[in-house]
Structure 1
Amino acid sequence: MQKTSYLKELVIKNTHEKNGANNSKKETEKIQSLLNLFSIANPNSGTGTSIDGDFGPATEKAVKNFQKIKNAAQTGVVNQNLFDLLALPIKKAFEDPIQGSNLRELIVNTAKNHLQNNPFELIIHQQGNSGPWVRSYMDGKEGSDWLWCMGFVQTIIDQASSIQGKNFKSLMPLTYSCDTVGVKGIEKHLLTRYQAARSNPSVIKPGDIFLIQKSNLDWMHTGIVIDVNGDTIETIEGNTNSMGSSNGNAVANKIRNFKTSKIDFFSIAPLV
Structure 2
Amino acid sequence: MKKDWYQKELMIKNTQKRHGDHNNRKDIRKIQSWLTLYSIQNPNSGTATDVDGDFGPATERAVKNFQREKGLFENGIVTQETFDVLCGNLKDAFEKPLTSMNFRDLVLETAENHLRNHPYELIINGESNSGPWVRAYMDGKDGAPWYWCMGFVQAIIDQAASAQGKNFKTLMPLTYSCDTVGTTGLNKNILTRYTKLRNDSSLIQPGDIFLIQKSPYDWTHTGIITSVSGDVIETIEGNTNLAGSRNGVAVLKRTRNLLKSKIDVFSIEPLV
Query: So what's the TM-score if we normalise by structure 2?
Result: 0.99
Does residue 221 (structure 1) correspond to residue 221 (structure 2)? The answer is yes
Residue 142 of structure 1 pairs with residue 142 of structure 2 = yes
Find the counterpart in structure 2 of residue 28 from structure 1: 28
Distance (whole Å) between structure 1 residues aligned to residue 100 and residue 195 of structure 2:
31
Q: 2:192 corresponds to which residue? A: 192
**Aligned amino acid, residue 24 of structure 1:** N
- How many Å apart are 1:109 and its aligned residue? 0.7
Matched with 1:266 is: 266
Q: Distance in 1 between matches of 2:70 and 2:200?
A: 51
How far has the Cα of 1:87 moved from its partner? 0.7
Give secondary structure in 1 for the equivalent of 2:198: helix
Mapped to 1, the partners of 2:229 and 2:201 lie a distance apart of: 9
2:125 alignment partner in structure 1: 125
The equivalent of 1:171 in structure 2 is 171
Aligned to 2:81: 81
SS at match of 1:259: coil
Output the CA distance in 1 between the equivalents of 2:244 and 2:44: 26
Question: 1:260: how far off?
Answer: 1.9
Shift of 1:231: 1.0
The CA distance in 1 between the partners of 2:223 and 2:214, in whole Å, is 15
SS at the partner of 1:199? coil
Q: How far is the alpha carbon of 1:26 from its aligned partner?
A: 0.6
What is the SS of the residue equivalent to 1:211? strand
Q: Which residue of 2 aligns with 1:230?
A: 230
**Which shifted more, 17-26 or 182-191?**
17-26
Size of the alignment, in residue pairs? 272
For residue 101 of structure 1, report the CA deviation from its aligned partner. 2.3
Q: Which residue of 1 aligns with 2:252?
A: 252
Aligned to 2:12: 12
Q: Any idea what the Cα deviations from partners look like across 1:63-99, whole Å, max 9, x if unmatched? A: 0000001111110000000000001000000001122
Matches for 1:25-174 after TM superposition, within 5 Å: 25-174=25-174
Q: Distance between the aligned counterparts of 2:41 and 2:95, measured in 1?
A: 20
Give the aligned CA root-mean-square deviation in angstroms: 0.6
The C-alpha deviation readout for 1:198-242, integer Å capped at 9, x for no partner, is 111111000000000011110000000000012100000000011
Alpha-carbon deviations, 1:152-211, whole Å to 9, x = none?
000000000100011000000000000000011000000000001111111100000000
| Cα distance in 2, alignment partners of residues 98 and 232 from structure 1 | 28
- The one-letter code matched in structure 1 to 2:6 is Y
Q: CA deviation at 1:56?
A: 0.2
Distance 1:233 1:19 in 2: 53
Corresponding position of 2:203: 203
In structure 2, distance between residues paired with 1:205 and 1:10: 34
TM-score by length of 1: 0.99
**Matched residue of 1:142: which SS?**
coil
- Equivalents in 2 of 1:219, 1:146: separation in Å? 15
Question: After superposition, what is the alpha-carbon deviation per residue over 1:33-80, rounded to whole angstroms, capped at 9, x for unaligned?
Answer: 000110111111110000000000000000000000111111000000
1:125 Cα shift?
Answer: 1.1
